[in-house]
Amino acid sequence: MNMKRNLINMAVLSTLGLAGTAGAVTTSSLGEVLLYPYYSVRSGNDTLVTVVNTQDTAKAVKVRFLEAKNSREVLDFNLYLSANDVWTGVITTTADGAKIVSTDTSCTVPALPAGGVEFRNFQYSGTNADGETTSLDRSREGYVEIIELGTVTTVDIDPTSGTLSFEDAVTHVSGVPLNCAAVVNGWKAGGVFTNNSLGFGNGLSSPGGGMMGTGTLINVANGTDFSYDPVVLDSFNTTPNHSEPGSLLPSLEDVDPKVSVTFFQGDAITSNWANNGLAADPVSALIMRTAVLNEFTVEPALAAGTDWVVNFPTKRFYVSPDIDTDPDSADKNFDRPFTQDFKLNGACEEVALTIYDREERTTTSDIDFSPLPPSGKTSLCWEVNVITFNNTNVLGSNLALNVPNQGFNSGWLRAGFPSVTGAGATDGAGFATRQMVSDEGDTYAGLPVIGFAVQEYVNGNLGGVLSNYGGSFVHKYNRNISVD
């Protein structure tokens, strides 16, 4: 084993206590970043979101909602969690789009009104238009990022009294924070957070991690509930970042240092991305996969249906809009590992579908989605994609691509990301797509992807009881990392 290449056996890593330590971002069960792959308010769905601070110190986090097509932000705010606190919110529909509503008492800036706050289209309309629709309806599907800004300190945030510490202000007393108004005032013109009078960290010390959460797609009328855990990143950043409410920062590009630790074939692979990489590469490396695998069922006797959510959460950092009429080969507004610019109908990534039933049988012909994207190829075109089987449309998504019935009512599917040829084989800098190469020469193949599947069983009303059921199942993956 070549120790110079930073390959360390997992057992050794665990023994040394190095997993999840500061200095290299990695996936974990608790951490500093939570990625919720999908929210929806379509077809009667609401989406419940929770975030839990499992630590004995208060923390500040950025809560960000992004629409599904191009990960344009539709809302964000700062949330201040007391020690051992839980924040809850629900994304629900409005006349034109969606909104976030919360009855939770934890401090937010801006403060969330009782009726909630509607999502906005400012980041994909006007001068921010990306070639796709500018309608608020676009905000009805997307995903959620929660990124820790840092640990709340005991610094004074009320100069007039000199007695109110930041930590005390956000800490619950009999179930209610002591003084959320003082935190909000700190972000107003002349406030202690706006003039940086608090010095380094602006009231925060280094992030401490320890966050967890849940996402739930609930449809009361249908009697279904699909719950999932977010993807968790730990050791994301060693520096506090008390960004102002409404800021697009921090993002997944702000991982620091630019080092990732991921596990492959029993080894922990440490890769550096500071020199040859792009800003989001350490995060992308953790979730680079050559294929997504999961099960499906559309059994008629059970009135069963299956949908998959396939999310590329770092795609927006590699793919830029191209709203002119030039061919992609002329502009190449994309960077590896992706292969296309973003324009009307998305930035389409070709996939290879292989399907099996429960008795190992497979089809002899190629499988295509219906409807096919404008490219005429089997592709996933958005940052958040929904794949449905046999038009069962469990989630009622407007983005759904259908896998037609192949004569198999139950089985499993592999959606692969093989290398491509032609205009998408290299990016504008001449680097090969469908892969990333670290400073050391470690090659990560595929695309960065997360997600889950949902299955529904519809019995309707049985004996006066609505008897519909559902479950969610995290995706499984193939991956390929070649260590130089």
Q: Tell me: the pLDDT tens digits for 346-366? A: 999 999 999 999 999 998 778
6-20, 299-313, 423-437: segment of lowest average pLDDT = 6-20
Rounded Cα distance between 256 and 33, Å, is 13
What are the start-end ranges of the H helices in 341-426? none
What is the predicted pLDDT for the residue at 329?
Answer: 56
Rounded Cα distance between 285 and 439, Å, is 13
Q: Are residues 48 and 182 in the same domain?
A: yes
pLDDT band, very low/low/confident/very high, at 370 (cuts 50, 70, 90): confident
From 208, 234, 260, the end of a domain falls on 234
What is the predicted pLDDT for the residue at 16?
Answer: 38
What is the predicted pLDDT for the residue at 376?
Answer: 80
| Averaged pLDDT, 235-251 | 95
| Averaged pLDDT, 237-256 | 96
Q: Are residues 226 and 289 in the same domain?
A: no
Q: Are residues 342 and 461 in the same domain?
A: yes
Determine what percent of the chain is predicted with pLDDT higher than 90. Answer: 82
Give domain status of residue 332, yes or no.
yes
From 206, 234, 262, the end of a domain falls on 234
pLDDT band, very low/low/confident/very high, at 12 (cuts 50, 70, 90): very low
Give domain status of residue 257, yes or no.
no
Contact 420, 433 (CB under 8 A): yes
| Averaged pLDDT, 333-353 | 95
**Number of Cβ atoms within 10 Å of the Cβ of 300:** 8
Give domain status of residue 185, yes or no.
yes
| Averaged pLDDT, 404-419 | 95
Q: Are residues 369 and 465 in the same domain?
A: yes
Contact 80, 107 (CB under 8 A): yes
pLDDT band, very low/low/confident/very high, at 472 (cuts 50, 70, 90): very high
Checking if the pLDDT of 11 tops 70, the result is: no
Checking if the pLDDT of 96 tops 60, the result is: yes
From 203, 218, 234, the end of a domain falls on 234
Q: Are residues 210 and 286 in the same domain?
A: no
Q: Are residues 227 and 279 in the same domain?
A: no
pLDDT band, very low/low/confident/very high, at 431 (cuts 50, 70, 90): very high
Give domain status of residue 440, yes or no.
yes
Q: Are residues 120 and 230 in the same domain?
A: yes
Domain that includes residue 118, residue range:
31-234
| Averaged pLDDT, 237-264 | 96
Residue 453 region, left (φ>0) first, then alpha (ψ -120 to 50), else beta? beta
What is the predicted pLDDT for the residue at 105?
Answer: 98
Phi, psi of 483 (to 5 degrees): -95, 125
pLDDT band, very low/low/confident/very high, at 466 (cuts 50, 70, 90): low
Q: Are residues 308 and 367 in the same domain?
A: yes
What is the predicted pLDDT for the residue at 422?
Answer: 87
197-201, 225-229, 238-242, 398-402: segment of lowest average pLDDT = 197-201
Instruction: Count how many domains the chain has.
Output: 2
Checking if the pLDDT of 159 tops 90, the result is: no
Residue 465 burial (C-beta neighbours within 10 Å; 0-12, 13-18, 19+): exposed
What is the predicted pLDDT for the residue at 484?
Answer: 78
Determine what percent of the chain is predicted with pLDDT higher than 70. Answer: 93
Q: Are residues 184 and 309 in the same domain?
A: no
Give domain status of residue 24, yes or no.
no
Q: Which residue carries 């500061």 as its tokens?
A: 22
pLDDT band, very low/low/confident/very high, at 454 (cuts 50, 70, 90): very high
Give domain status of residue 265, yes or no.
no
Checking if the pLDDT of 3 tops 80, the result is: no
Mean pLDDT of the chain: 92
Checking if the pLDDT of 78 tops 60, the result is: yes
Give domain status of residue 1, yes or no.
no
Contact 105, 169 (CB under 8 A): no
Q: Are residues 286 and 211 in the same domain?
A: no
Give domain status of residue 247, yes or no.
no
Q: Are residues 439 and 294 in the same domain?
A: yes
Q: Are residues 222 and 355 in the same domain?
A: no
